[in-house]
Amino acid sequence: MEWAEGTGRTLEEARRNALEQLRADEAEVEFEVLEKPGALSGILGRAHYRVRAMLREAAPVPEQAPTASDEAQPEQQPAVTVAEGEPPHRALAEAGRDLLQRMVDLIGVEGTVEIGLCTEDEVTLNVEGEDLGILIGRHGATLDAIQLVVAIGANRVADDGVRVIVDAEGYRDRHRQMLEAKARQHAEEAKTTGREVVIPDLKGYERRYMHVALKNDPDVETYSEGEGDDRVLVISPR
């Protein structure tokens, strides 16, 4: 037998099953990822990987790269493992993109999901299109709910949790700029009156934006106080 296929709930399990059929060591074979779980199948508990293990002696070798046995071929780009030079958490980003695209399509919105910034700690997904207000909702409430679902689904393919940000029509960037401007405006008020300014009804990330906007202002300090929905941001003159 020169090759065998294996399946499993994890990539490692699928590889192990294929190796058992070949009766070979991992160093003797090349792996090709044939199928990986979609985000929705992971949520439903039916996620599985399918891989093909090929003995290196029998594996086709590219004519101009005879020693590149570990290099993925063009048709293998969607592999779960991240190749050298690729952005981190590519598999998670692709799972999140697929899930978000399904949600956008089910809602009936004409939009295309693109993978944005991928860092070690965060993955950004952007919905590009027109008339995406229904995805954003009042004060971004719908977008936040969609983001939560996508984050849960996408992180099913990750070993470690990664923050997933979902944006539409650049809403989050515009919202951040508005909050930063609001923070500077209230800071001037605190300086002029000499009194603290209390800002209620902010989400956690909105308070963080305002904290960051004023962190280098030597004339004010910011802090949060309260619990739960009653937590507020305070801008205090020094």
Backbone angles phi and psi of 167, in degrees to 5 = -125, 160
d(CA 235, CA 238): 10
Q: Is the pLDDT of residue 14 over 50?
A: yes
Say what the pTM is: 0.56
pLDDT one-digit tens code per residue, 80-93: 334 445 567 788 88
**DSSP code at position 74:** G
**Of the candidate ranges 40-44, 146-150, 176-180, 216-220, the one whose mean pLDDT is the lowest:** 40-44
Q: Residue 62: pLDDT band by 50, 70, 90 thresholds? A: very low
pLDDT value of residue 69: 41
DSSP strand pairing (3-8 vs 220-225): unpaired
pLDDT one-digit tens code per residue, 24-60: 677 677 777 776 665 444 444 445 667 777 776 543 4
CATH 3.30.300.20 fits 90-169, yes or no: yes
pLDDT one-digit tens code per residue, 94-135: 889 999 999 999 988 889 999 988 888 889 999 998 888 889
pLDDT value of residue 22: 66
How do the domains of the chain map onto residue ranges? 3-58, 90-169, 173-237
At the topology level, CATH places domain 173-237 in Ribosomal Protein S8; Chain: A, domain 1 (3.30.1370)
Q: Residue 159: pLDDT band by 50, 70, 90 thresholds? A: low
Q: Taking all residues of the chain, what is their mean pLDDT, rounded to a whole number?
A: 78
d(CA 162, CA 154): 9
